[in-house]
Amino acid sequence: MKTLGMTVDSRTAHRVYSEASLLAKGEPDSVAALRPYLAAYKAKHRDAHYCVETTRTRVPAPEPAPAGAGAGAGGAPAMVDEEVLTQAFVAFAPTVRLVRDAGQWLKPYVTVDGAHCRRGTLLTLVASDANGALIQLAVGMVKSESTASWTWFFNQCVTAYPRLREWAGALIVSCDGDKGAGNGIAAVFAEAQRVYCVKHRKRNIARRFGVGDDGLGIYNLFEAAACAVTEAGFDAAMAELHLKYPEGYAYVMERDPRMWANCKYNPRAFGKLTSNDAGACAQHRGAPGLRVRRRRRGGG
């Protein structure tokens, strides 16, 4: 546009881009392109597993209806049925074969998390190999992180990866404190051990107690307790937390330490403390850990 000597405000540019994207790719909630694409992928890669669930809704016809054909009183637009995407799941063929044929070399430890996306929530299931390399096992798109959505997602995961059920009591599932995820884990992986993501808990502590002296003290002592590799280190940090910040201690102890403290974890957790696999907390286990610093006023 600049080369043509034209200027367009950002709002107009965004509207034009959105309309062009809609013309090129179709309605985001439509399954007209998604289902054929996944079917073609499945035909080429037989080991893949996918599931697309839809609902039908009444929407105005895309073009004006002919005179006398379906128009209601007062010239109301004609309505048509349209299939709308509600939730989708994909497990890719290479990872399905990997878990099926070489699952004994994987850690029986998976992390699950949800993140907002344009049309709902993106759910993920991630594992890691013996070298700690991350393996994206499955992704799902749902409307929200409800118990029903997580249970549906986990059932699809088991369908794609039966070994998850075979691990039974050996399986450890790490996630944040979302109630829907917890209920889904209890419903589908009743024998598995659930552990809480320390990174999410630290974030919640910072939000609840702020970044003042008390907030920083609670944050750092919780991290020291969570990352401690010995019972003595854990007890020392928790004793100091209880003495200096009783309210923070009560908040931290709302969750069973066996579900977030490194020294109390089942050894099969391999020292992992976060469901956010991009996080670095596990790299600091046994160390004082990262410290929250106050942001300078006016600084970045």
**Residues 24-39: pLDDT tens digits?**
665 655 666 788 888 8
Q: What is the pLDDT of residue 293?
A: 42
- Which residues, given as ranges, of the chain have pLDDT below 50? 65, 69-72, 279-300
Dihedral of the alpha carbons of 126, 128, 132, 134, in degrees to the nearest 10:
-40
Q: What is the pLDDT of residue 150?
A: 95
Q: What is the pLDDT of residue 210?
A: 87
Q: What is the pLDDT of residue 289?
A: 39
Task: Walk across the sheet containing 172-175 and list its strands.
Answer: 49-60, 79-91, 134-142, 120-128, 109-117, 172-175, 193-196
- pTM value? 0.72
Tokens 């299931």 appear where? 125
Q: Residue 209 in 3-state DSSP?
A: helix
